[in-house]
Amino acid sequence: MNFATRLLLELQETTLLAARAFRGIFKRPRYIPETIAQMDAIGVGSLTIIILTGFFTGGVLTVQTFPTLKSYGAQSQTGYLVAVSLVRELGPVLCALMVTGRVGSAISAELGSMVVSQQIDAMRALGTDPIRKLVAPRLWALLVSLPLLTVLADVLGIFGGWVTAVALYSVSSSTFISAVRDGITTDDLIGGVVKPLVFSLIIGTIACRQGLSTEGGTVGVGRSTTRAVVNASIIVIIADYFLAKALQVILGTS
């Protein structure tokens, strides 16, 4: 099988998996406790890394941009630049990449281990659809958690930028906050939530697909985990490019 055929086959299987998972949402039994448990593992479990990532990204944005802005006499716009960069781009993408590393790998490894130890076959043999029981709750949990984590990363990023601007560069607090308010528009906020929704679908379906298609024992689990993280990360970045342009066209900001 050549590369193009493999790629198309993989795309087809991943799309079918997502479609089956969403179809399953509307049928009984509904796995609400499993979905809540996944939200806890994915959302609450990722809080620490998202807080740290958001705060320090905002901080470093201030560190890198303040001297340049100052040379143009535009240092009062630091808050504007930090907020727009974070809400439009860095918040959604960095959050998605961090969640891919932490959650995507865990989903793929867990499902992969279940495949090689025949637990998935056992589940099917017991009359339970693993896509509804395992995939759908993880997708739902990502769809709810990632936008919330992104909003948190944005807020903490702006906070990190504010702390840095005020503490290191003596920018007044009111100047920074007013620049932030000027910078963020409703369109930015819409884009900042739509992007993580799409990213969560990408991360969830790719991680679940890679996990469920694991072959070759424990070595295979390692391979599928690596593939899940690499593929999801690359596709998130590619999707971000097209989403950014699509949102500009849809929201009329291009």
Query: Which residues bind to another protein, rule: CB under 8 A?
Result: 29, 113, 117-119, 121-129
CA angle 104, 131, 218 (to 5 degrees): 55
Q: Which is nearer to another protein, 51 or 123 (CB)?
A: 123
* Residue indicated by tokens 């607090």: 173
C-alpha pair distances (Å), 77 with each of 21, 90, 135, 156, 172: 45, 18, 45, 18, 12
Q: Minimum Å distance from CB 127 to another protein?
A: 4
Residues, the chain: 254
Q: How far is the CB of 41 from another protein (least distance, A)?
A: 12
Q: Compare residues 195 and 209 and give the one whose CB is closer to another protein.
A: 209
- Minimum Å gap between C-beta 185 and another protein is 45
CA distances from 55 to 41, 43, 156 (A): 22, 17, 5
Nearest to 66 by CA among 212, 149, 201, 176: 176
- Sign of the alpha-carbon torsion through 183, 189, 193, 195: negative
Return the number of the residue (88 or 132) whose C-beta is nearest another protein: 132
* Residue in this structure with the two tokens 């990449």, named with its chain if needed: 97
Instruction: Say if CB 139 and CB 21 are below 8 A apart.
Output: yes
Place of tokens 């990023």: 157
Residue 172 has which token pair?
A: 């007044």
| Torsion sign (Cα): 104, 106, 109, 111 | negative
Q: For residues 114 and 156, which CB has a smaller minimum distance to another protein in the complex?
A: 114
Q: Least distance in Å: CB of 128 to another protein?
A: 5
Residue nearer to another protein on the CB measure, 123 or 166? 123
End-to-end, the C-alpha distance of the chain in Å comes to 41
User: Which C-beta is closer to another protein: that of 22 or that of 159?
Assistant: 22
In the complex, what is the shortest distance from the CB of residue 119 to another protein, in angstroms, rounded to a whole number?
5
- Closest distance of CB 181 from another protein, Å: 47
Q: Could you tell me if 62 and 161 are in contact, meaning their C-beta atoms sit under 8 angstroms apart? A: yes
> 110 or 240: whose CB is closer to another protein?
110
Least separation in angstroms between residue 126's CB and another protein is 5
